[in-house]
Structure 1
Amino acid sequence: MTKNIASIIVPDSQLAKDAADVLHEYGSLLLWNHSHRVFLFGSLFGRQEKLVYDPELLYISALFHDLGLTSHYRSPDKRFEVDGANAARSFLEQHGISHEATRLVWDAIALHTTRGVAQYKEPVVALLYRGVVFDVIGDHFAELSEETRSQVVSAFPREGFKQKILQTFLDGFRHKPETTYGNINADVCERYLPGYKRPNFCDFVLQSPWNE
């Protein structure tokens, strides 16, 4: 794997290699390419904004951020983001990584679809989010040059990513659509699960057991 892309160094410590092995074993080519693009795009924004952070922690966050969608890591009843965060926490604890670093990675993964919150947290959390929304929906697309985008995509191709990632999302939580309540993933369920209608918060309020 190329270690320098768009002037961003891909971490190659033993910890980083072990994390990459996990994604390679349990993920897919789609998630492999997406996760590396997320790391690179997040890193590019970090460099652009002169943020101070640990690139290795951002890299591990990126590698694990969608593993909760996979058959190996998905739970029957938790949000996929939490499944991925829990997998990363277990991995880091097994490698003797500090509680604070582990917490940071857990937060980054658990919050990576939480728009309006993640971007205001610590740089590792914020940059994972920035990388995800840049790769998935092209958020702030013009802030990275066409040349830079092309270098990243050349190294880790998209290959029909738009359609494939939506199917990957659906496959990851079609068995537990209730976990998407209050989150953008409810959009995927409502569009692609026949007959599914997302819960409405107003109904929960009005139908609460309070006697009034």
Structure 2
Amino acid sequence: MTRGEIIAGIKIPDSAMSKQATALLHEYGSELLYNHSQRSFLFAALRGRQSNARFDAELLYVSAMFHDLGLTAHYRSDDKRFEVDGANAARDFLRGYGILPQSLQLVWDAIALHTSPGIAEYKEPEVALLNYGVALDVVGKGYDQLSVRDREEIIKQFPRGGLKENMISTFFDGFKHKPHTTYGSINADICACMIPGYQRPDFCQAIRHSPWAE
């Protein structure tokens, strides 16, 4: 694929910043994450076009390239949610290009909230669209709203590569050393799936066992 190529009617951003974000994903991510990230951008941009949303395609693209890099050995921390690791990495990256603080925060929010259904869709278009594109690729949310032609063109360019079989383990590899960071998120489901006998922290028990006297 070349920068500036048009896929399913969507132009792939070809600025120096976009190229570098893609290069980092190539270097530190896997083929599965690369193709997933590209599809997520295209699905998000298609949704934006269909809904006549006004959004910055380049910021959406960079957000998509970084949204799962917090799962990788290069970017993951020992104590933060992987979404936050990816958001922090993207913010640091964008600072090198002199991006304004408001746009830095926008990208940070898009990545940090991409696994937060019920919140992201009420934020700015870039945040809502990334959440939509990722959800469409991973769990098929909005699948019927995607035309067969667009679907086939995108999959031909960026094959799914056994995502159903491999995505859960890819996620888990990114935070198996810090399962406590999945508390309160959908990623706790992955820990429950992958760790025998895993007991998720229980919010009701946290309330009942708080240090307050009553």
TM-score interval (norm. to shorter): over 0.9
TM-score (norm 1): 0.99
| Runs of at least 4 residues off by over 2 Å | none
After superposition, what is the alpha-carbon deviation per residue over 1:183-209, rounded to whole angstroms, capped at 9, x for unaligned? 000000001112211111000000000
Match of residue 9 from structure 1:
11
Matches within 5 A, 1:14-163: 14-163=16-165
Deviation, 1:61, is: 0.2
**5+ unaligned residues in a row in structure 2: which ranges?**
none
SS at match of 1:72: coil
CA shift for structure 1 position 94: 1.4
2:197 equivalent in structure 1: 195
Query: Which whole-Å CA distance do the structure 2 matches of 1:149 and 1:120 have between them?
Result: 26
Give the aligned CA root-mean-square deviation in angstroms: 0.7
Counterpart check, 1:174 vs 2:176: yes
SS of residue in 2 equivalent to 1:91: helix
Return 5+ residue gaps in structure 1 as ranges. Answer: none
Equivalent-residue separation in structure 2 for 1:114 and 1:162 (angstroms): 20
Secondary structure of the structure 2 residue equivalent to 1:103: helix
Identity of aligned residues (%): 59
TM-score, normalised to structure 2, is 0.98
| CA distance in structure 2 between the aligned counterparts of 1:31 and 1:167, rounded to whole angstroms | 12
Question: Number of aligned pairs?
Answer: 212
Partner SS, residue 78 of structure 1? coil
Q: What secondary structure, in the 3-state scheme, does the structure 2 residue paired with 1:105 have? A: helix
**What's the offset of the Cα at 1:96?**
1.1
In 2, distance between residues paired with 1:158 and 1:57? Answer: 24
Q: 1:30-53: CA deviations, max 9, x gaps?
A: 111000000000000000000001
Task: Give the Cα separation in 2 of the matches to 1:195 and 1:93.
Answer: 43
- 1:95: how far off? 1.5
- 3-state secondary structure, aligned to 1:194: coil
Q: Which amino acid aligns with 1:176?
A: K
AA paired with 2:53? L
Which whole-Å CA distance do the structure 2 matches of 1:162 and 1:101 have between them?
Answer: 33
- SS for the counterpart of 1:115 is coil
